[in-house]
Amino acid sequence: EQIKKGKYDHYMQKEIHEQPDSLTTTMRGRLIRGGESKMKSVVLGGLKDHLRTIRRSRRIVFIGCGTSYNAALAARPIVEELSGVPVTMELASDLVDRQGPIYREDTAVFVSQSGETADTLQALEYAKSHGALCVGITNTVGSAIARGTHCGVHINAGCEIGVASTKAYTSQIAVMTMLALALGDDSISSRIRREAIIDDFFDLPSKVREVLKLDIEMKELANLLMEEQSLLIFGRGYNYATALEGALKVKEVALMHSEGILAGEMKHGPLALVDETLPIIVVATCDATFSKQQSVIQQLKARKGRLIVMCTKGDAPSLCSSGACRFIEVPHVEDCLQPIINIVPLQLLAYHLTVLRGYNVDQPRNLAKSVTTQ
Ligand code: G6P
């Protein structure tokens, strides 16, 4: 059943629309609310004997490639906040190229949908040989990374067939956010924050269902953008990853040049590209970086940038009153879960752009679902 397209034209489309269910499966049995003590908590069976060691590590190193790297980047701030352990990011091939420092006191977290990516596997062998605790986050039971790590969590997103990863991305972020909650479980001071996140986890499938209703709107936007040469996506904080992942989707399937840019770096180069023609998506949903994104929008407008602003429902008037921008309005969730919502319209945009431009959605030119050679 899972490997049939059903009512959909393409696997990527099916997998985008499956996300309310795949997220439900990812969460199943792992988030506990209520009970005698009314405590809310997270249970990650595969890690329960290792949480103390991870909390005491000198640092956590997230390692992956492509979309899996972007998912780890999205989860980095909440893992740092709730665990108090510094988190560094490594693209697997770069860690191996540099033979970067990995210590016995490190926890190395390997994120891979397939669990078979050669670069990630090589980084795993390297980290193991340096004595780090190795944790696997994969979607494939029995995969090389699942077998080769000391412990781990399966994301349970179900089989993903489209080469461009969609539902695995959102489930990976969900699992790494649960990891953050589990690591922070012993802290009284963060309890209110953790409980708010757990509450929003339970609402997540319905919020994703809500954001999927933007499908027609994103098809219209794709129609408008289909002839473009290039698309920039600006994000920051939790949504820097959204910018990178949205741009990756657009380039890998729609074969359109697209760049995800950290909005804080705008004035250090990208601003030179801004004119009346180049389309720019700015992710400016409500979180601690909102006022900074407001000023980014002002600066882009001052240079007559062609803006498409992704914002929280109801915020549009405060961001751009003159009718100069288009909006993608999304439902609000806790900041660390917002990347799960925000990527959905960009997945839909990449999908529709691909269909309109006449390219192969499920098997993009030159790409493979799982890159098992170096
Ligand atoms: C390939 C795929 C990407 C994927 C990356 C990492 O490049 O085309 O969609 O993100 O591999 O794959 P993994 O299975 O390790 O998550």
354 CA distance to ligand 1 middle (Å): 19
Ligand 1: distance of its center to the CA of 111 in Å? 10
Q: Quick one: pLDDT at residue 3?
A: 66
Tens place of pLDDT for every residue, the chain, 374 residues? 456 888 999 999 999 999 999 999 999 999 988 766 667 889 999 999 999 999 999 999 999 999 999 999 999 999 999 999 999 999 999 999 999 999 999 999 999 999 999 999 999 999 999 999 999 999 999 999 999 999 999 999 999 998 899 999 999 999 999 999 999 998 999 999 999 999 999 999 999 999 999 999 999 999 999 999 999 999 999 999 999 999 999 999 999 999 999 999 999 999 999 999 999 999 999 999 999 999 999 999 999 999 999 999 999 888 877 677 899 999 999 999 999 999 999 999 999 999 999 999 898 888 888 888 87
Residues 211/330, Cβ–Cβ less than 8 Å: yes
> Of the residues 371, 373, 374, which should be mutated to test ligand 1's pocket, given the most ligand atoms within 8 Å of the CB?
371
Q: Ligand 1 mean position to 15 CA, how many Å?
A: 15
- Ligand 1: centre distance to CA 299 (Å): 35
Nearest atom of ligand 1 to the alpha carbon of 145: 15
The alpha carbon of 141 and the centre of ligand 1 are apart by a number of angstroms equal to 16
Which of 94, 95, 112, 113 gets mutated to test ligand 1 (max ligand atoms within 8 A of its CB)?
113
The closest residue, in CA terms, to atom 5 on ligand 1 is 66
Joined together, the tokens standing for residue 215 give 């499908």
In ligand 1, the atom with minimum distance to the C-alpha of 165 is 9
CB-based contacts of 264, cutoff 8 Å, min separation 6: 236, 292
- Which atom of ligand 1 sits closest to the CA of residue 248? 9
Would you put residue 38 in left (φ > 0), alpha (ψ -120 to 50) or beta?
left
Q: Ligand 1: distance of its center to the CA of 369 in Å?
A: 6
User: Whose CA is closest to 326, among 213, 221, 210?
Assistant: 221
Pocket test for ligand 1, best of 12, 16, 68 (most atoms within 8 A of CB): 68
Q: Give the span between the Cα atoms of 33 and 334, in whole angstroms.
A: 17
Q: What pLDDT does 37 receive?
A: 61
How far apart are alpha carbons 347 and 363 in whole angstroms? 15
Ligand 1 midpoint to CA 263 (Å): 25
Residue by residue, DSSP assigns 317-343 as HHH--SS-SEEEEE----GGGHHHHHH
Around ligand 1, the residues with Cβ closer than 6 Å are 65-68, 112-114, 117, 120, 163-165, 367, 369-371
How far CA 40 is from CA of 5, 56, 225, 332, in Å, comes to 37, 23, 45, 21
* Residue 308 DSSP one-character state: E
pTM of the predicted protein model: 0.97
Tokens 């995969």 locate to 143
3 state SS of 312 = strand
**Strands of 257-262's sheet, edge to edge?**
257-262, 230-235, 279-283, 306-312, 326-330
Residue identifier of the C-alpha nearest atom 8 of ligand 1: 369
pLDDT of residue 1: 47
**Would you call 232 helix, strand, or coil by DSSP?**
strand
CA–CA gap between residue 294 and residue 318 (Å, rounded): 9
Token pair of 361, please?
């959605």
Cα 61-145-70 angle, rounded to 5 deg = 45
Taken as a whole, the chain contains a residue count of 374
Note the pLDDT of residue 78: 98
Give, using CA atoms, the residue closest to atom 3 of ligand 1.
66
List the one residue out of 66, 49, 71, 77 whose CA is nearest residue 133. Answer: 49
Q: Which atom of ligand 1 is nearest to the CA of 65?
A: 6
Q: Which residues of 295-318 are buried (b: 16+ CB within 10 A; e: fewer)?
A: ebbeebbeeebbbbbbbbeebbee
User: What's the gap in Å between 224 CA and the centre of ligand 1?
Assistant: 29
Q: Do 335 and 240 form a contact (C-beta atoms < 8 A)?
A: no
- What is the number of the ligand 1 atom nearest to the C-alpha of 164? 9
Element (H, E) at 250: helix 240-254
